[in-house]
Amino acid sequence: MSYLFTSESVSEGHPDKIADQISDAILDAMLAQDPDSRVACETFVTTGLVVVGGEVTTKAYVEIPEVVRETIKRIGYTKDDYKFDAESCGVMVTLHSQSPDIAQGVDEGSNKEQGAGDQGMMFGYATTETPEYMPMALAFSHRLVKELADIRKQNPGLMPYLRPDAKAQVTIEYDNNDRPRRVHTVVVSTQHDSFIQPKGEGAAAQAEADRLMLEKIRTDVIEHVVKKVIPAEMLDENTIYHINPTGKFVIGGPHGDAGLTGRKIIVDTYGGKGAHGGGAFSGKDSSKVDRSAAYAARHIAKNLVAAGISEEALVQVAYAIGVAKPVSLNVTTYGKARVDMSDAEISRVVSQLFDMRPKAIVERFGLKNPIFSLTAAYGHMGRNAYTDEVEINRVDVKENGSERHEVRRREKKQLEFFSWEKLDHVEQIKKAFGL
């Protein structure tokens, strides 16, 4: 019997995503100067105000209000009409140092390894549904909101009324064998200007102007967005479209809803497929296994599926705070394994192939580099891994008694982005499983 599954995504202009991007931009600014920075940065945004709080231990000096405003400007909140813009919003900063009780369990010493930054479980998931080994409903949702942002920034003449806030939701119909069959429903809500004014006064004239705006938006979204990013063979005459289903969507962004860091963790991961351990990513340095171990688990799952071990894989890893070695690692194949082994046997092989201690994960993926801002919108998983030369600021601090000297320098460095998406263990996995 066929069934439906739905996932959603939100644009970079969504209030929660603004908060995520600010938190990660501050993290990157600190890591650029001091790779050993410990950062747990939370952001709150609302009408005309940004509040940044949390715990930080770093040698870096960062003009946080400047980072906040540059991030908001890049997203596109640059007009007074939005009631939240980069130049005029207030910025309140309430950061303090990391608890020494936590630090003593996490820091690497002469007689111990770097421990996990917290207890908890993290999940990684992969499936053959899409080329990026991501669930189809989420992959399509990401593509929709990303295309809206690309049009707004790079081709504004196509849909000149677009504003930064947007959401998308896609429902996939599956067949009896769990194969994606078609797109059942597409939901897109995009913030927009009041680009059609009423011809006359009164509620009737306004209602007609709103109807014409919605009609134009619906046509443009289907023609210029949906049909561009969703394969034609997945759409048919029965596909249902809900475009701005509440009607007019002029008030949006932080003026429409407050935003918080870490409130879109399902959008950030697998859209409700697989599982989620509950920990957010943005604003956290890599000593926090909520982030680093989730990346490592995705890397394992993706390489397992790409190697042909299973059509679908879920990897769970769990830690105790201050302890380097995971307390458990488990692989679930949903009965779709292509090797004659139980999930428990597969898990044991995987545990031997991948070093999941926090320090090993950080080194494997280069997680002390300023690479996180790009993860904070359109998903942390399912992205293309790439290398780019980046100019960064470094700070060398020398302390002599009560004197502290800082030497700042700029350097160019080749950085790997989304390195946990690399298929660099496929051959090793095939060999270990005799494929």
Known catalytic residues are: 14, 16-17, 42, 55, 167, 249, 257-258, 263-264, 284, 288, 290
**9 close to 140: Cβ distance less than 8 angstroms:** no
CA distance 65 to 327: 40
* Longest distance between any two alpha carbons in the chain, whole Å: 79
Exposure class string for 146-168: b at 16+ Cβ within 10 A, else e: bbbbebbeeeeeebebbbbbbbb
Is 296 annotated to bind a ligand? Reply is no
Is 14 annotated to bind a ligand? Reply is yes
Q: Kindly state the DSSP code that residue 221 receives in the 8-state scheme.
A: I
Q: Kindly state the DSSP code that residue 82 receives in the 8-state scheme.
A: G
Is 416 annotated to bind a ligand? Reply is no
Give the torsion sign (CA, 357, 358, 363, 367): positive
Query: Can you spell out the DSSP letters for 271-296?
Result: TTSS---S---TTB-TTSHHHHHHHH
Is 216 annotated to bind a ligand? Reply is no
Residue 124 in 3-state DSSP? strand
What does the radius of gyration of the chain's CA atoms come to, in whole angstroms? 23
Is 96 annotated to bind a ligand? Reply is no
Is 208 annotated to bind a ligand? Reply is no
Give the torsion sign (CA, 287, 133, 264, 220): positive
Nearest CA among 122, 115, 141 for reference residue 130: 141
Is 276 annotated to bind a ligand? Reply is no
Task: Calculate the alpha carbon distances from 201 to 133, 140, 196, 208 in Å.
Answer: 53, 41, 14, 11
Is 388 annotated to bind a ligand? Reply is no
**377 close to 136: Cβ distance less than 8 angstroms:** no
Is 59 annotated to bind a ligand? Reply is no
**338 close to 310: Cβ distance less than 8 angstroms:** yes
Is 280 annotated to bind a ligand? Reply is yes
Check residue 253 and give left, alpha or beta (phi > 0: left; psi -120 to 50: alpha): left
Is 249 annotated to bind a ligand? Reply is yes
Residue 9 in 3-state DSSP? strand
Residue entry with tokens 């942390």: 380
Is 16 annotated to bind a ligand? Reply is yes
Is 284 annotated to bind a ligand? Reply is yes
Is 228 annotated to bind a ligand? Reply is no
| Token representation of residue 124 | 């990684």
Extract the annotated binding site for L-methionine. Answer: 55, 98, 257, 288
Extract the annotated binding site for Mg(2+). Answer: 16
Extract the annotated binding site. Answer: 14, 16, 42, 55, 98, 165-167, 248-249, 257, 263-264, 280, 284, 288
Extract the annotated binding site for ATP. Answer: 14, 165-167, 248-249, 257, 263-264, 280, 284
Extract the annotated binding site for K(+). Answer: 42
